[in-house]
A and B are shown apart, each in its own frame.
Chain A
Amino acid sequence: MNWRKWLLISIVVGYMGILIIAPLGAIVFGAFREGTAAMLTALQHPHVLRSFGLTLIICLVVVAIHGIFGTLVAWVLVRHQFIGKAFVNRLLDLPFAMSPVIVGFTLIVLFGRNGVLKPLTEALDWQIAFALPGMILATLFVTLPFMVRELMPVLEAFGRKQEEAAATLGASGWQTFRLVTFPALRWAFLYGLGLTCARALGEFGAVLVISGGIQGRTETATVYIFRALDDRQYAGAYSAALLLGAISLVLVLVIDVFHRRSQKSIEQR
């Protein structure tokens, strides 16, 4: 009995060590190989700074939009009754089946050089493809389900009793939401925002296609890493990859706290 237990544990630990831990160790080793000073110099390159700045901007805009509309969608899908609701609910898994490259491609079809909507955007003098708006759109597509999927179960578990009580006491719809419903959702809301942000930080395929990867102009952190690797600027690529990986990891660890609180609030009901 005992030998079997330890055999199975060592197989799992060995597998995860080779598959997950070894590559993680490799990137730390790769980034520090030429010394800490070389790494810091590489990270201070204007293209690196600019690309991380762009990633941050995209992340903030995407989180704000999904924060508002994702909450709205979760509310409608849980509290409203309408024909086709089950179908809409199943559609939410669609981005899961869609390769980021395909998402980028649809934006090229719409806004690219021979894009369907090109005459319209040209008339309005909007630059979408190969510019920030297109990159934000691409990231919005890829990160849509996270907010909704986090909020729906919590909203369902919360139920309507307290909302109805507030309404009976004369609270308006908005007051009820702000003072009664939202406080119950807040941990799930924060967790959803964090997940969306984490996914936006790491988005690559869709953004690469629609941005055109113009050096120092439309490069996000991931697009910069890809280009630096291609140009054999290994110090820059490895350092930026380590930094981006570390940021994502810390973010996910932090929002895990929100996740636990949110799970607890569901269990208490």
Chain B
Amino acid sequence: MTTQTIERATPRLPWGRWSIRGAALTYLAVFLVLPLIVVVVDGLGAGVESITSVVSSPIARHAIWLTIWTGLVMSLINAVMGLLTAFVLVRYEFPGKTLLNAVVDLPFAIPTLVTGVMLVILYGPQAAIGGWLNQQLGWQVIFAPSGIILALLFTSFPFVVRSVQPVLINLDRSSEEAAATLGAPAWQIFWRVTLPALLPALVSGTLLSFARAIGEFGAIVVVAGNIPLRSQTAAVYVYGEIESGSQRDASAMSLVMLAIALGTMSLVDWLSRRREVQA
């Protein structure tokens, strides 16, 4: 009865509703789906053999492999340090904690190209630190894979921290206290009780940072340059192919990158759904 009066009081013209919905969905179709369709149609248009032939060229293969392994190394370091950072920020009280918590978000606030410039100033061969590392330790950062990993670590630092932190804050501590009462040492409590509870958030944050790393361009192109077979990642390869006018190579590589990134994100999605079903 009440809903009926409301319906009558508001002459909701169906065309108004439909035009709002239509406008919203058209906007999404143009800005969300169109790029995906263009890449897929353009990439598959030349046939699957064309993609495999592009991707199996030594330069392209090296670019894909470099992108994947630097992404994996970054994800691993990010998982460990992100977890530790979240733990310290939630469990300990110390002066400057609020400031430290604010610094976590800095990488999201700074344009990735600017990140690249910062790293070049700090670790470039002419810079004090970069020169010292190079001469004393023979360790080159700029135009090398370690520069790529460093750039990715910077840009994706908040992912793991910010996905683990809320879970850790809301974690019921009674199991930890029970384990402590039973005389378990601190590291065992963390390993056996705390970590399993944090694992889903830790894994999804880590996977998201990996998916993000596949497409990173701004920071990497400055830090690693565009040296084929050495420091050229997949995104930089695509850029180079567009510049030299070979669209076919660019679209094949774009498809590969999209497949890896979307695959990783679907994995995150699947894991969280499975958890919901189990819960």
Question: What separation, in Å, do the CA atoms of A172 and B21 have in the docked complex?
Answer: 18
Residue A123 at the chain B interface, CB threshold 8 Å: no
B154 adjacent to A20 (CB under 8 Å): yes
Known: A12-B84, A209-B242. A23 touches B118 (CB 8 A): yes
- Assess the B25–A98 pair: CB atoms within 8 A: no
Determine whether B228 belongs to the interface, using a CB cutoff of 8 Å to chain A: no
User: Which one of A30, A69, A141, A204 has the highest number of Cβ atoms from chain B below 10 Å of its Cβ?
Assistant: A204
- Cα of A249 to Cα of B114 in the assembled complex, Å: 12
Contact call B35/A222, Cβ cutoff below 8 A = no
Closest approach, in angstroms, between the C-beta of B107 and any C-beta of chain A?
7
Which residues of chain B come closer than 8 Å to A105, judged between CB atoms? 39, 238, 242, 250-251, 254
Pick from A42-50, A86-94, A149-157, A183-191 the stretch touching chain B.
A86-94
Query: Are A69's CB and B238's CB within 8 A?
Result: no
Let me know if B279 is at the binding interface, CB within 8 A. no
Query: Quick check: is B215 within 8 A (CB to CB) of the other chain?
Result: yes
Chain A residues whose C-beta falls within 8 Å of the C-beta of B10 in the assembled complex = 167-168, 171-173
* Separation of A105 and B236 alpha carbons in the complex (Å): 12
A69 touches B114 (CB 8 A): no
| Residues of chain A with a CB closer than 8 A to B221's CB | 226
Contact indicator A20/B157 (Cβ below 8 Å): yes
B100 touching A101, Cβ below 8 Å: no
Q: Mark A236-253, 1 if CB is under 8 A from B, else 0.
A: 011001001100110110
Interface pair B262/A97, CB less than 8 Å apart:
yes
CB-defined contacts of A209 to chain B, threshold 8 Å: 239, 242
**Taking A11-B84, A249-B110 as contacts, is the C-beta distance between A16 and B25 under 8 angstroms?**
no
Return chain A residues, CB-CB under 8 Å to B105. Answer: 252
Q: Complex Cα distance A151/B54, Å?
A: 42
Q: Does B277 contact A (CB under 8 A)?
A: no
**In chain A between 167 and 210, which residues have their CB closer than 8 angstroms to a CB of chain B?**
167-173, 198, 201-205, 208-209
Q: How many whole Å from A119's CB to the nearest CB in chain B?
A: 16
In the complex the two chains form, is A72's CB within 8 Å of B257's CB?
no
Question: Is B171 engaged at the interface, CB distance under 8 Å to the other chain?
Answer: no
- Tell me the interface secondary structure of chain A in the complex: helix
- Asked, given contacts A8-B84, A99-B217, A144-B32, whether A241 binds B24 with beta carbons under 8 Å apart, the answer is no
B92 at interface by CB-CB < 8 Å: yes
- State which of B12-20, B56-64, B132-140, B193-201 sits at the interface with chain A: B12-20
Chain B residues positioned under 8 Å from A22 (CB to CB):
122
Q: Does A140 contact B (CB under 8 A)?
A: yes
Closest CB in chain B relative to A190 CB, distance in Å: 17
How far, in whole Å, are A8 and B92 apart by their CA atoms in the complex? Answer: 10
Complex CA–CA separation, A203 to B217 (angstroms): 10
Q: In the assembled complex, which residues on chain B have CB atoms less than 8 Å from the CB atom of A102? A: 35, 39, 215, 235, 238, 254, 257-258
Bound together, the chains give a CA A203 to CA B110 distance in angstroms of: 11
Interface residues on B, range: 35 or more
User: B222 at interface (Cβ–Cβ under 8 A)?
Assistant: yes
Please count how many residues in chain A sit with their CB below 8 Å of the partner chain's CB atoms. Answer: 82
Neighbouring A residues of B32 by C-beta, 8 Å: 91-92, 94-95, 144
Contact of A101 among B23, B154, B215 (CB under 8 A): B215
Chain A CB within 8 A of B269 CB: yes
* A57 at the B interface (CB under 8 A): no
Are A101 and B35 in contact, with the CB atoms below 8 A?
Answer: no
CB atoms of B109 and A80 under 8 A apart: no
- Select B215's contact among A12, A100, A173, beta carbons within 8 Å: A100
In the complex the two chains form, what is the Cα distance from A252 to B34 in whole Å?
A: 30
Most B CB atoms within 10 A — which of A109, A144, A173?
A109
Q: Residue on B with the closest CB to A166?
A: B10
Q: Which residue of B is nearest A114, CB measured?
A: B247
* Residue with the greatest number of chain B CB neighbours at <10 A, chosen from A4, A92, A98, A100: A98
Asked, given contacts A12-B100, A93-B265, A226-B222, whether A101 binds B114 with beta carbons under 8 Å apart, the answer is: no
Q: How far is the CB of A223 from chain B (nearest CB, A)?
A: 9
CB distance from B155 to the nearest CB of A (A): 11
Query: A15: CB under 8 A from chain B?
Result: yes
Nearest Cβ on chain A to B133's Cβ, whole angstroms: 12
Q: Are B111 and A173 in contact (CB under 8 A)?
A: no
Q: Are A12 and B111 in contact (CB under 8 A)?
A: no
Q: When the two chains form their complex, are residues A225 and B114 in contact, meaning their CB atoms are under 8 A apart? A: yes
A76 touches B84 (CB 8 A): no
Query: Which single residue of chain B is at the shortest CB-CB distance from A95?
Result: B32
Q: What is the CA–CA distance of A248 and B118 in the complex, to the nearest angstrom?
A: 15
A75 CA to B17 CA, complexed, in Å: 11
Instruction: Please tell me if B36 contacts chain A, counting CB pairs below 8 Å.
Output: yes
A21 at the interface (CB under 8 A from B): yes
Q: Does B28 contact A20, Cβ atoms closer than 8 Å?
A: no
Q: Which residues of B contact A24 (CB under 8 A)?
A: 106, 118
> 22 A-B Cβ contacts within 8 A?
A5-B94, A12-B88, A20-B106, A20-B154, A26-B119, A27-B117, A72-B24, A76-B25, A90-B269, A92-B32, A96-B212, A97-B214, A101-B217, A105-B254, A108-B242, A108-B247, A141-B31, A222-B114, A238-B121, A245-B118, A248-B114, A251-B109
